[in-house]
Structure 1
Amino acid sequence: MMNHGKCPDNHVMPIVCPPEYRFHDEYMPREVPVIHPIVNVNRHHYVDIPRHYYPETTEDVMGAPVVPRGGFGPEFGGGYGPEFGRRGRSRWF
């Protein structure tokens, strides 16, 4: 009987396959900085609001000449006339 390989007597030489890998993954946290820049912008807006001005002027103008009439007033005697001291509306206005 022929002896194949180095196996004794009636034994068959084993076939060895390439290894199979079995992975057992472990995950460990590792912080990675992620930067989010923020820009604060102060915006200034002009809003037109009307502001009213009322400038005043004074003018001196000559009026119509006044002609004195006799009868009433302290220069003519007898006080200020018959309507002096009357309350309410006068008859001329």
Structure 2
Amino acid sequence: MTLAISKTSFEVGETAKITVTVTPPNQTSGTPTLASTNTKVATVDNSGNLRAVAVGTTTITATLGDKTSNVLTIQVYEALVTVTNLTSSNVTANSVTLNWE
């Protein structure tokens, strides 16, 4: 059984779909159960819908009977913001002061 996803790094609030492949398909009956080791970072339902909740790292696995999938490591980072009118001051060899709106 394998899990696949298009990317493993997400902004808070992003969603994605995890695909579960059971090989061979007739090896085990039932529906895989997906789980996140840290639901405060990302949640996943049994349909494979992943939601990035907060900054951090979690792993996703699927189980079906006594079979366990590969592990997907998911990294969630703070949503990016647009910065306008960036200016610098107090520039030295070791530091700079940045200001923006």
Q: Give the TM-score range, shorter chain.
A: under 0.3
TM-score, normalized by length of structure 1? 0.19
TM-score, normalized by length of structure 2? 0.17
Structure (1 or 2) with the larger CA radius of gyration: 1
Higher relative contact order at CA 8 Å, sep ≥6: structure 1 or structure 2?
2
